[in-house]
């Protein structure tokens, strides 16, 4: 029986690339494969079709979003930016 309870889908990588990188890949893949709520019909059926392209399996609406989740989280108003000024 394979031992992938902790490592999940990154078990296919074996001991390569280091634990930090494998944990980051695991987090991205969990976000990628999750079902999201449709902005049109509110069903929990949105899946990723391609890079930044998402489609609802219930109503069929296609829309663009972020690469690994359908919505982009914006920084809160007044938060310092990378530039710092």
We report the CATH number of the domain holding residue 54 as: 2.20.25.30
**7 band by pLDDT with thresholds 50, 70 and 90:** confident
The answer to whether residue 57 sits within a structural domain is yes
Is residue 19 a part of any domain in this protein?
Answer: no
Instruction: Look up the domain containing 41 and give its range.
Output: 36-68
Number of domains in the chain: 1
Q: Is residue 75 part of a domain?
A: no
The CA distance from 37 to 46, in Å, is: 6
Whose structure tokens read 């007044």?
78
Question: Residue 50 pairs with which residues in a beta bridge?
Answer: 53
Provide the whole-model pTM: 0.68
Phi/psi of residue 81, each to 5°? -95, 180
Q: Which residue has the higher pLDDT, 63 or 83?
A: 63
Mean pLDDT (whole number) for 38-64: 91
| pLDDT interval class at 34 (50, 70, 90) | confident
pLDDT tens per residue across span 64-80: 988 888 886 554 555 56
Structural domain contains residue 28: no
In Å, what is the CA distance from 54 to each residue of 25, 59, 61, 70, 76?
A: 20, 12, 8, 7, 25
């Amino acid at each position: 029986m394979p031992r992938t309870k902790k490592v999940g889908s990154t078990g296919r990588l074996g001991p390569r690339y280091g634990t930090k990188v494998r944990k980051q890949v695991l987090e991205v893949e969990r976000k990628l494969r999750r079902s999201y709520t449709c902005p049109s019909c509110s069903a929990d059926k949105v899946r990723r079709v391609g890079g930044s392209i998402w489609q609802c399996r219930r109503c069929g609406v296609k829309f663009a979003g972020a690469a690994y989740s359908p919505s982009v989280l914006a920084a809160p108003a007044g938060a310092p930016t990378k530039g710092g000024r």
